[in-house]
Homo-oligomer: A and B are copies of this chain.
Amino acid sequence: LRKVKGRKPRWAVRASEMSKKTFNPIRAIVDTMKVEPNPNKPMISLSLGDPTVFGNLPTDDEVTQAVKEALDSGNYNGYAPSVGYQSCRQVVAAYYSCPEAPLEAQDVILTSGCSQAIELALAVLANPGQNILVPRPGFSLYKTLALSMGIEVKFYNLLPEKAWEIDLKHLESLVDEKTACLIVNNPSNPCGSVFSKSHLQKILAVASRQCVPILADEIYGDMVFAECKYEPIATLSTNVPILSCGGLAKRWLVPGWRMGWILVNDRRDIFGKEIRDGLVSLSQRILGPCTIVQGALEHIIHRTPPEFYHNTLSFLKSNADLCYAALSAVSGLQPIQPSGAMYLMVSEALMCHFQSIAVCSVCAGSCCPCFEYPNFFRVVLTVPEELMVEACSRIQEFCERHYQGSEGAQDLECDK
């Protein structure tokens, strides 16, 4: 007992600092949410960014068929390389490659969901003590991951009055010597906004001037309504190096499958070998995503019928229009028309207890830190139409009562 001489050991097992610094506000709500339905007034959860919860948006048969074929082949049960099978990386590269931003297999890293893509991208770009620039309102995972790694978060503002464009002056003012990357989320959760080509070019100009690489969260890529065009930011970059994060979760409606990817766009060789090697090393900590989903990727990407994507988007657009119209009519509320993704933001500037609304459309606002954005709440547009109608009318009813001084009625309960 050489080293412990004089020490009388006692049990004192403490959780690590990192685990204490790790807090995911959305999951904290969702994972502890009571799901028992209330028989009198079933909860309508508008707060969860999971398109599958109501069963009205199943994935395409080709997508499940693809996994069955991968299973039956027997070829996808073993370990894949930790960055994914070469052939699957090739499929993703070919699908997202374009002349302005060419991609090869080696530019693709498959990950366990877009969440792990973001984790690896942050882990390779930033050291503890550095900072990252994050949109406000924005997806909470950026902050969750950054703080758990000792990385500081600086929020740049999105402008609701300009269709949620970035306040570029504010953004640029936040850059300092310790800025490791700029996160751009387009199309946006929670805003449902889609940046124009010219706005993206202005964002790139800031990044280029300040020499800050971009982490592009494009998990809602291609999910834009008809009148709008989605431009992957990498296709517009001439020099700024970009790690684009995406995956199957949203467009193919299978978030539980945990299939994501990083696309390395680095035309000027600024990331160089170092960042690529770093991503490979980091991927080797827990190895890649489930191999049977990897084995299904080619089929999923090539054989999902265009109608599937189209149907999802027209459903979302119709729900967006319905919700927009209904909530526009409610005094005290001001919805903002979305152009893509699966969300719509509503300003509730006059209210302060919105989180107690029975429809549980709340996952924002002063009392919920999910989007760092008080006085707005996010509506998820994936719920069935009849529930959307019912939810809007409950919101209206609540608001009317609320403005008469009532603090909410007995039958109203929050989802927390």
B285:A17 contact, CB within 8 angstroms: no
**Nearest-CB residue, chain B, relative to A64:** B71
- Copies of this protein in the assembly total 2
Q: Is A23 an interface residue (CB 8 A)?
A: yes
Interface residue from B19, B126, B258 paired with A112 (Cβ < 8 Å): B258
**B-contacting 9-mer, from A155-163, A267-275, A335-343, A369-377:** A267-275
Q: Is A316 an interface residue (CB 8 A)?
A: no
B285:A145 contact, CB within 8 angstroms: yes
A23:B281 contact, CB within 8 angstroms: yes
- CA–CA, A22 to B123, complex, Å? 11
Task: Given A16-B124, A77-B256, answer yes or no on A116-B286 (Cβ-Cβ < 8 Å).
Answer: yes
**B-contacting 9-mer, from A79-87, A348-356, A401-409:** A79-87
B176:A4 contact, CB within 8 angstroms: yes
Report A273-320 residues with CB < 8 Å from chain B CB: 274-275, 277-282, 284-294
B59:A77 contact, CB within 8 angstroms: yes
- Nearest-CB distance from A304 to chain B (Å)? 14
> What B residues does A285 contact at CB under 8 A?
22, 24, 115, 119, 141, 144-145, 148
- CA–CA, A192 to B64, complex, Å? 39
Q: List 6 tightest A-B contacts by C-beta distance, closest first.
A: A256-B291, A19-B278, A52-B78, A15-B278, A24-B284, A290-B290
A79:B173 contact, CB within 8 angstroms: no
**Nearest-CB residue, chain B, relative to A25:** B284
- Number of chain A interface residues as a range: 35 or more
Interface residue from B64, B213, B291 paired with A257 (Cβ < 8 Å): B291
Chain A window 143-186, contacts with chain B (Cβ cutoff 8 Å), 1 for yes, 0 for no: 01100110000000000000000000000111111000000000
- CA–CA, A11 to B271, complex, Å? 9
> What B residues does A12 contact at CB under 8 A?
211
Question: Could you pull out 20 A-B pairs where Cβ atoms are within 8 angstroms?
Answer: A4-B176, A9-B175, A10-B211, A13-B275, A15-B277, A16-B124, A16-B125, A17-B127, A18-B127, A19-B123, A27-B82, A28-B284, A31-B284, A52-B79, A53-B78, A76-B256, A77-B255, A148-B282, A258-B288, A292-B293
B15:A284 contact, CB within 8 angstroms: no
Q: Point out which of A115, A253, A256 has the most chain B C-beta atoms below 10 A from its C-beta.
A: A256
**Nearest-CB residue, chain B, relative to A82:** B27
> What B residues does A77 contact at CB under 8 A?
52, 58-59, 253-257
B55:A172 contact, CB within 8 angstroms: no
> What B residues does A293 contact at CB under 8 A?
290, 292
Q: Point out which of A30, A268, A279, A286 has the most chain B C-beta atoms below 10 A from its C-beta.
A: A286
A256:B116 contact, CB within 8 angstroms: no
A258:B289 contact, CB within 8 angstroms: yes
B4:A210 contact, CB within 8 angstroms: yes
